[in-house]
Chain A
Amino acid sequence: MAATELLPLWVLVPLLAAALAACLPARRAGQLALAVQLAALASWPLLAAAFADRGPLTVSLAGLAPPLAIRLYLDGIGLLLLGLVATVTTAASLHALATPGRAALRPAFWPAWLVLLAGLHTVVLSFDLFNMYVGLELLTLAAVALVASAGTVAALAAAMRYLLLAMLGSLAWLAGVAMIHAGTGSLDLELAGAALAPGGWVSVALALMLAGLLLKAAVFPLHGWLPLAHGAAPGAVSAVLSALVVKAALLLVWRVQLWLGPAGGADAAGPLLAALGGAAILWGSLSAYRQDRLKQVVAFSTVAQLGYLLLVLAMPSAVAWQGTTLHLLAHGLAKAAMFLAAANLVRRAGDPRLAALAGSDAAAPVSVFAFALAGVSLVGLPPSGGFLAKWLLLQGAWQAGAWWLVALLLAGSLLAAAYLFRTLAALLAHRDGAGQARAGLPVPRIAELAALALALGAIVLGFAAAPILDLAALPAGPGGAP
């Protein structure tokens, strides 16, 4: 089938486009990036149709048989993630194009953007550990470059910290991968997983890989870099980083758990990871409540929301996986919408502090509305994708008898409501000093609509969840769906 053969193009096209973009003026490069993303968006239904027909897709590169070949692999969650990537990057690049600023005019911006896209696709589609490493590296380097593109001192410092820590994480991953390779002679997930035997060195290898991924995914307590980087980056970049990049690392956590874990005793690590996720929810939410800058609130919210994606490892049931998948999508859309909206609001007010954003609802109603809608999904209030995700997770927790998870999920919602409504209250507050000078710039219509479209997507997900989950709910493990 054509769609299957085209799978490698998802990696290659963005890379080639990146190379081309490096030769073009910034504006043209941006349009090229947009075109690539639109193409991805347009071809996604083909992929979905193929998946609906045949289940998980596998492509061996260079036509070799499995032990030698490098395989690309697409399971349900990968499919959905590709769709999310296409949607969010399209909206974000529209935003970046529409909002003239220093960052998007830098020559390196759009090439880095496209490399980021290629990295995302690589991580999603990879089926062997080294390719995953390559994907992660592409992702990290591009992300660092994009954070730095904001050009402020804070952004440079944050990018530096991000770079160093991400390298540390990559090293840990690479060390683990090397041990696996040494032990099994294979980098292919399926083959390595089959060859693994529980034992001391396997535990160490898996632990190193997981720790590295957790650092890249900014899971508590390894999240220190994220609020700085996401807070300082340009709006469109923050959106992509928060909605997609950290998810890529989490996808690998699941992959490792599902394919390598059974042999390596992953069930035992599940509760630990879930506990870290729980701590992330509480810590991130409480911290978000304490922030006095808009983008910092949103960034800490990411720290908290990522925690939900690990809870499933302590209650691995179909319902919980469905909930996790849905959460991944809903959070991706909502968080991207929120960052875009936040960027609009800050641009409008010319001041990142919450206190300075009072009266935003009159100045930029669409952005405030988008922010609020995204918040609805993040808190998990109906009707929204976030709500259905929370519902499914709660169902899973209840069925598993994991009461602490039930309490945690409910508490997490309340905390999310606390920090988001606090923020909204600040946005809606009446402006006292009417004569106060505004240093802000106008926000183009498209930038506002991009945020609104994503936020509406998160809400619509609350009604369209059934077909999506029917199509592809679960990340597949060796025996198919868990």
Chain B
Amino acid sequence: MIEESDELIVRAARALSGMPPTKAGAVARVLMAVRANQARPLPFWKRAMRRFDETSVSAKAAGLLMAASLVIGFFARGTVGNARDSFAGGSELSGTALQSIANMPAESRPVPVAVAVELANAKTVAVVGDFNGWDPSVTPMQRVGKDGPWSATVLAKPGRHTYAFMVDGATLVADPRAPRAKSSDFDGDASVMMVRTP
């Protein structure tokens, strides 16, 4: 066991422990932002996540099994090299949460897009992009097998999207299989995917 505490570290920690002054109105601004967010219509995938969360455990298990079967089916087709191809079979994703996809105009309907990357030494990988607010907590990737590629499915509207992979929560890596382009959200070398209208 490593014990790292000593006088200098305690002094350093104490120096960082002072509570910064809360600016006047800061809490009110937070609450206003929360209310503004509530008033804004949530994107489809967030509503789906909420509904998913409110479903029973057995329904969640069924959903997870279905998602797992999609991932397995994806790799069984041997299409790792075309990992950004969109799923054509959206109807396979049954459930109340996904029903609203079918009700949306095709040109704005989010499309499940499978993404995969080989990062042998990574401990965690998340796909981040303009479709999920560049938030690494939204779409963590799962490893296929012990040493296989990392994969995930994102929901993205038809059109051009920029994305990258967040490795071990600290390093952004572009997709080696995808073209690259500058992005205002990224440091000049984001990957690009084109999502077709289903």
* Chains A and B form a bound pair: no
What residues of chain A have their CB less than 8 Å away from a CB belonging to chain B? Answer: none
